[in-house]
Amino acid sequence: MRPYLTRRLAMSLAAITTAWLLTSACQQNRTLHAALQEGWGTITGQVVYGGDPLPERKPIADVKEPACLEKGPILTEVWVVDPKTRGVQWAVVFLKPAKGQTLPIHPSLQKPLNEFVTIDHPTCAFHPHIVTMRVGQKLLALNPMSIAHNVVITGFRNNFNIQIPPGGKHVFDLQPETYRALPIRCGAHPWMSGYLWMFDHPYFAVTDETGRFTIKNAPAGTWNLVVWHEAIGYLGGAAGRDGKPIDIKANETTDLGKIELKPTQ
């Protein structure tokens, strides 16, 4: 190619790149601007059991290993319902942007607060039962027990089967795999079960023992909220995968009240 044409081509490419960079910077700014103008708010609510009678946790009959029973029986964890409040523990509640939408992230939450999220084995059960983390965080598995555990994580982009010896630990460097439940199992103890959820934003929570959840510094405006529980999947069935719109008010707490999970939906 003649030098003149090469120069012309390079100049055109530079012009196109500059124009593209300016356009995308403007778009990002607009998103940030809109969010800053509208502000940030808190979302709260309570996930409750919508059936009768209330399920009770029962000792898992398969657990025979003495080391597993040292701290008492291992109880079922699928439905953990508080009899006083009907609150359901271990539901995952999160904002999910629609296709092409980006959730503005509060300046104080741009980066994960901790490098590691921990999953422990104080007994022959995963603690916590449901692990949530942000993309970029690492999963630290601890085994303080006198017996080995096998942490098996099954996803599309994450597949691990790691033996953790007594007193040992392991750091899982996970690939981003967001908005889906990744089962966690133990190869040594078939009753052990948990789930891992990963998000590319900080707007998620797991319900506590009374079914309550709080998500702080969420972007004001209308965003989709998803509720998931391992026994029923998404609230609202398959369509619930994308959530339902909620209005988050700036500088206020938006209380969503009681969110009912029916045991069969």
Residues of the shown chain interacting with Cu ion in the complex, contacts defined by CB under 5 A = 149, 186, 188-189, 192
The first and second tokens of residue 220, run together, are: 């004001």
Q: Is 172 helix (H, G, I), strand (E, B) or coil?
A: strand
Closest contact distance (angstroms) between CB of 189 and Cu ion is 4
* Least Cβ distance, residue 60 to Cu ion (angstroms): 12
Q: How far is the CB of 170 from Cu ion (least distance, A)?
A: 13
Closest to Cu ion by CB, 189 vs 229, is 189
Residue 88 vs 124, nearer CB to Cu ion: 124
Of 112 and 168, the one with the shorter C-beta distance to Cu ion is 168
Nearest distance from residue 143's CB to Cu ion, in Å? 8
Residue nearest Cu ion, Cβ-based: 186
Nearer to Cu ion among residue 48 and residue 151 (C-beta) = 151
**Smallest distance from Cu ion to CB 149, Å:** 3
Q: Could you tell me the smallest distance in angstroms from the CB atom of residue 188 to Cu ion?
A: 4
Please, which residue, 162 or 246, has the CB nearer to Cu ion?
162
Nearer to Cu ion (CB atom), residue 28 or residue 163: 163
The closest alpha carbon to 76, from 92, 90, 94, belongs to: 90
The side-by-side arrangement of strands in the sheet containing 182-186 is 130-134, 193-199, 182-186, 149-154, 159-164
- Cα dihedral 225, 249, 46, 208 sign: positive
112 CA to centre of own chain:
13
Of 103, 196, 72, nearest to 141 (Cα)?
196
Spell out the alpha helix ranges (H) of 134-184.
none
d(CA 37, CA 30): 10
Q: How many helices (H) and strands (E) does the chain have?
A: 2, 19
